[in-house]
Chain A
């Protein structure tokens, strides 16, 4: 069955991603809201670090993230998908990527978030280029 495309909000930012964000718009058909944050670890190759730096090919990355969110949201029957990826210098503990999905079921929401992260790690032109002591 072909699902309709989800509402998609995809962004790139150099600013810190706030600890709390409004979840995607409420929709009557949704039974699950799942948010995921990937944060900067305090070590790199066994050594303590204070921050990392991410580089991005901004024009292509935004289009690619939007395409990934739309395609995988549709595959899983999600109704709304938000993806925010940060770049520049990001301190330990801060959020690198935020994904929020509203879907009819838990299984759909979990699968959608998992797939979005996997495909972004493979296809979004974003690089972790430096770990800072």
Chain B
């Protein structure tokens, strides 16, 4: 599963994306557990950062598949 990092998430991980070894559909909570296991420094962002799946904000019930484009969206500051 490909995960994109932006802004603070990119600064913390030092990369703009990563691949996690996930081969089934998972929930947003499961994704966060996997992301933080791989990048513990992202833990503090969990409460404020939204997850996007294929360009749409995920909800608590969204299922994230291995082929989906996942992005961590820290609090935005455009506009």
User: Which residues of A come within 8 Å of B, CB atoms?
Assistant: 38, 54-57, 59-61, 63-64, 85, 96-97, 117-118, 120-129
Contact = CB atoms under 8 A, between A and B. Distances in A.
A54 B78 contact: yes
Interface stretch (B22-30, B35-43, B69-77): B69-77
A128 B52 contact: no
A113 B59 CA distance: 28
A122 B10 CA distance: 20
Which 10 residue pairs spanning A and B have beta carbons closest together? A126-B78, A120-B79, A121-B79, A127-B7, A60-B55, A128-B77, A124-B78, A117-B79, A125-B73, A127-B77
A60 B71 contact: yes
Chain B interface residue number, banded: 10 to 19
A57 B78 CA distance: 11
Contacts of B10: 55
Interface string B37-79: 0000000000000001001110000000000000101101111
B1 interface: no
B17 to A, nearest CB: 11
A55 B55 contact: no
A111 B5 CA distance: 34
Contacts of A97: 78-79
A38 B79 contact: yes
A54 B7 CA distance: 9
A116 to B, nearest CB: 8
Interface in B3-28: 4, 6-7, 10-11
